[in-house]
Copies of this chain bind each other. A is one copy, B any other.
């Protein structure tokens, strides 16, 4: 009874999510401008008209592939950050999870969002705005968690949570860049430990 309700007409050869996964991987590795529609159709095993009927356009496919990938990570990372752990420990695990994502053995290095479309041709400005928006949203998530920590007396009330969030955002972006340049997981985590030494109230030795 769980039948996928076979519709009429010729059946699809490519599952939509499989296609998005393949596209995400290509965009992740080569960037938006470095990935051609020919690359995409070849990797998916389809012809150009199928790509356009399934996803609309290259830009729409990129957007959907980003949504698809981001939403897969968001659940776990949100759980880590919003857990009952002390904010400092939650932040550490959150950053470790991102470091793990930057250095997965069978996936492209770095983060698909953190360092994407920073430079771009004018015609791709709207794509750049999209990735910038995702980065800003991620920073706002951090800031909201820090604001809550202030309210719950885990952080001094004078804490500049905006700058604090953007600082750890910079670490996230720097980790992605260095992962692209070949940095290993252990190095990224050593960097995180250093960055956590800047946490308000810490005494470094």
**A residues 2-44 in Cβ contact with B at 8 Å:** 28-31, 33-36
Nearest CB of chain B from residue A40's CB, rounded to whole Å: 12
B34, A181: Cβ atoms closer than 8 Å = no
A124, B181: Cβ atoms closer than 8 Å = no
Pairs A–B under 8 Å by Cβ, sample size 24: A31-B33, A31-B120, A110-B118, A115-B119, A115-B177, A116-B119, A118-B181, A163-B187, A163-B191, A166-B191, A167-B191, A167-B195, A169-B178, A170-B174, A170-B175, A171-B171, A173-B174, A173-B177, A174-B174, A195-B195, A197-B197, A198-B198, A201-B205, A204-B204
Give the contacting residue for A203; candidates B115, B136, B166, B203; CB below 8 A. B203
- Copies per assembly: 2
**A86 at the binding interface (Cβ < 8 Å):** no
B203, A119: Cβ atoms closer than 8 Å = no
Q: With the chains together, A136 CA to B110 CA distance in Å?
A: 16
**A194 at the binding interface (Cβ < 8 Å):** yes
Q: With the chains together, A115 CA to B176 CA distance in Å?
A: 10
Neighbouring B residues of A30 by C-beta, 8 Å = 119-122
B172, A119: Cβ atoms closer than 8 Å = no
Q: With the chains together, A201 CA to B203 CA distance in Å?
A: 8
B204, A202: Cβ atoms closer than 8 Å = yes
How many interface residues does A have (CB within 8 Å)?
A: 55
- Given A166-B191, A191-B163, the answer on whether A119 and B177 have CB atoms closer than 8 Å is no
A121, B35: Cβ atoms closer than 8 Å = yes
**A150 at the binding interface (Cβ < 8 Å):** no
**A59 at the binding interface (Cβ < 8 Å):** no
Nearest CB of chain B from residue A154's CB, rounded to whole Å: 15
Q: With the chains together, A136 CA to B182 CA distance in Å?
A: 11
